[in-house]
Amino acid sequence: MILKFLRLFKIVRVAVRYGLDDIAMSGFDTPRISKLIDTLIFWRDISAPRGERLRMALEELGPIFVKFGQVLSTRRDLLPEDMVDELARLQDRVPPFSTELAIAQIEKSLKGHPDELFASFDRVPVASASIAQVHFATLKDGKEVAVKVLRPGMKKSIDEDVALMHIAAGLVEKLWADGRRLKAREVVGEFDKYLHDELDLMREAANGSQLRRNFADSHLLVVPEMYWDYCSPSVIVMERMHGIPISQLDRLREAGVDLSKLSRDGVEIFFTQVFRDGFFHADMHPGNILVSVAPATFGRYIALDFGIVGTLNDFDKDYLSQNFLAFFQRDYKRVAEAHIESGWAPKETRVDELESAVRACCEPIFDRPLKDISFGQVLLRLFQTSRRFNVEVQPQLVLLQKTLLNVEGLGRQLDPELDLWKTAKPYLERWMSEQLGWRGLIQQLKIEMPRYSKLLPQLPRLAHQALTQAVEPKTEESNALMWQLIAEQRQTNRFLGMLVYVGGGLAAGVLLTLLYLRFAHMIWW
């Protein structure tokens, strides 16, 4: 209890020092309370911009609050521009914890001392962050690995700090004018879940394994292998990756890496993860990306740190692909209609007004190289438009927005001349063709065929049972059976209709081809 009180006292002290109360009190219609507080605390200096003061306060409060600020920096739909820009500057600058603690964590989790488990274990950590740190080691079979160790005592620290954040979020919603729209308690709830997910390193290992399987045959991305015999919720061991950090452009040029191709490959990797797999690496900042210079994988991306991934369902992917293609084709009316059809914009929204607003946001960015535009600024203007029309920003798309900004940053760094739109458009058109064209139809038939192969032989028996029971008094069971028969018959009709459609189309295509060849043969001779 005393420790919690001391922590709360520190948070209040830091908040007062940096004038966070002044930011909260800006929501009052009258400045009297704010003036009263300034009079009582006359010695503090809060002349710095509010965004800068917020960032400095979070940095002083420690790693958990820094990470919370990083999460908030992705919510440009919720926070004012000046505050988000400052929060985006937050970086994990956390000193490593002692090697003794790391060894104790490994012993507890893997039931053995590192000197017994590994042929060699580097006592000096190679990287340290707010949640964990990494040591290099070598397995007894000679394989080089990276050992990620969870920072001790993190769960208790997180639980205490997040509990205080929930209290603060409730106050923000009451005191700040934008508090309700900010959805402070909802944001803290998302952050709570996200942090506790990161505390389970087995989840991160599973994410990495899934991504590696998705790109098993790819010539664009390399993902380290997880060694499951050495993995636990607080320690994971993965293949050690050798490469050049993507931010070190001079070293990449010296190694002979084609930076223009690398930038285009990054865009393709992103859209492949989003639209093909619906599963994407959502923490693609330069610190988590290497470039391989090994002969077998030269020039490929190497992904690290899989604690944060995003997922999209079929509805999300279809909605996004339609919007992207509509943007590329400058069909702003279709963009507006898609927002309303999906329910993300209120049904009473006028299509022409939303269309006009989206056009004003997006039209200036086309036909210009990436170096001349900022996709981040375009997103910001779109979010401002969203607030005007009460468009709900879906939680599952927040990570996607953040990742797209990371991709823009990497593209701008590697090749300022990259045209993000022209690079992405062919891939999206190909994906739409595969999903909605005849390839998509055949794929769906392959998926549904096992079900229909089991269903079709049962139809005569179901029909006989239904006809037999038709003359008997109807019961709830017989009604249920009748509805089942009707539902199955409708599905069968749809299936047969698709077969007729496909078969008829193929037959017509063959007939037209034969007629064309016959006609061409007659003309030639």
Binding-site residues for ATP, please? Answer: 126-134, 148
- N-terminal to C-terminal alpha carbon distance within the chain: 99
| The one-letter amino acid at 319 | Y
**Which residues have a Cβ under 8 Å from the Cβ of 259 and sit 6 or more positions away?**
249, 252, 253, 414, 415
| The one-letter amino acid at 195 | L
The CA-based angle 75-78-80, given to 5 degrees, is 100
Q: Which residues pair with 169 in a beta bridge?
A: none
- List, as one string, the DSSP characters of 393-451: PPGGGHHHHHHHHHHHHHHHHH-TT--HHHHHHHHHHHHHHHHHSHHHHHHHHHHHHHH
- Rounded Cα distance, 446 and 525, in Å: 44
Query: Of 63, 202, 72, 187, nearest to 130 (Cα)?
Result: 63
Q: Active-site residue among 22, 161, 265, 283?
A: 283
Q: Say how many residues make up the chain.
A: 525
- Rounded Cα distance, 404 and 422, in Å: 16
Q: Residue 256: how many CB atoms within 10 A of its CB?
A: 9
Query: Of 309, 303, 306, 359, nearest to 331 (Cα)?
Result: 359
Residue 192 a catalytic site member: no
Output DSSP code: residue 274: I
Helix (H, G, I), strand (E, B) or coil at 226: strand
Report yes or no: 385 and 361 within 8 Å, Cβ to Cβ.
yes
- Please report, for residues 86, 93, 155, the alpha-carbon distance to residue 165 in angstroms, rounded to integers and kept in the order given: 20, 21, 15
- Rounded Cα distance, 29 and 288, in Å: 45
Q: Which residues does the annotation mark as catalytic?
A: 283
